[in-house]
């Protein structure tokens, strides 16, 4: 769906704005890398959770494909796995398919969809997934888009820290 989203954004915003967005995104991922390094984590005790990564048994393959296609986010995941971090399936595949259909419909009709409902269900699932899979003494790092609110679905004993806030809007979270 990435190509369709890119084409729609270029059509609506123009090529120059799209290129500026991509440059900002590259800068953002560099900041995330820098902030993660500053934490001095023992990666052997780190669990990685990724927006859009289904619980399916093929998580590493999916991340490798996305990284090979140029995703800085997924390349960072691979780098952290190489340092010893564990990659965790994060999302319910059915909810991801619902979200895909919602976004596709919105792009085709140039309008809003039921995305808010699906997004809230995804957030609740991600919160439960982290709560159930993050063991004692482990550190979770969640890479999540700015429209999400997973924190509201986490138990009180999971302390959250936001690593990077870009222009006060684009946020990914470290747990």
Domain boundaries, the chain: 2-174
Mean pLDDT on 111-138? 87
pLDDT band at residue 173 under the 50/70/90 scheme: very low
* Residue 174 pLDDT greater than 70, yes or no: no
Comparing CA positions, the residue from 33, 41, 40, 37 lying closest to residue 76 is 33
The 3-state DSSP class for residue 105 equals helix
74: helix, strand or coil: helix
Q: What is the pTM of this model?
A: 0.83
Strands annotated E in 89-151? 139-143
State the pLDDT confidence band at 4, using cuts at 50, 70 and 90: low
In terms of pLDDT, which residue wins out, 113 or 37? 37
pLDDT beyond 80 at 63: yes
pLDDT score recorded for residue 169? 38
The pLDDT score that the predictor gives to residue 146 is: 85
State the Cα–Cα distance between residues 55 and 159, nearest whole angstrom. 23
pLDDT average, residue stretch 103-109: 77
Answer with the residue of higher pLDDT: 40 or 10.
Answer: 40
**pLDDT at site 55:** 97
pLDDT value, residue 167: 38
pLDDT at 113 over 80: no
Confidence band for 166, pLDDT divided at 50, 70 and 90:
very low
Say if residues 80 and 64 touch (Cβ distance below 8 Å): no
Residue 106 is predicted with a pLDDT of 77
pLDDT of residue 2: 62
Between CA 36 and CA 65 the distance in angstroms is 23
140 vs 122: CA distance, rounded Å: 18
Residue 22 has pLDDT above 50, yes or no: yes
Segment 106-114 shows an average pLDDT of: 65
């Amino acid at each position: 769906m990435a190509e369709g989203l890119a084409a729609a954004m270029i059509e609506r915003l123009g090529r120059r704005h799209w290129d500026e967005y991509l440059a900002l995104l590259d800068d953002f991922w560099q900041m995330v890398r820098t902030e993660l390094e500053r934490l001095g984590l023992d990666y052997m005790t780190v669990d990685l959770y990724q927006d859009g990564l289904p619980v399916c048994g093929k998580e590493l393959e999916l991340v490798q494909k996305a990284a090979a296609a140029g995703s800085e986010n997924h390349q960072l995941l691979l780098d952290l796995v190489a340092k010893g971090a564990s990659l965790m399936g994060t999302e319910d595949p059915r909810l991801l398919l619902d979200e895909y259909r919602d976004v596709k419909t919105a792009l085709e009709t140039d309008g809003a969809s039921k995305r808010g409902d699906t997004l809230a269900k995804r957030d609740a699932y991600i919160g439960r997934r982290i709560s159930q899979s993050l063991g004692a003494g482990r550190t979770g790092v969640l890479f999540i888009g700015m429209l999400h609110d997973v924190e509201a679905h986490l138990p009180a004993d999971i302390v959250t820290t936001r690593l990077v806030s870009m222009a006060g809007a684009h946020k990914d979270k470290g747990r």
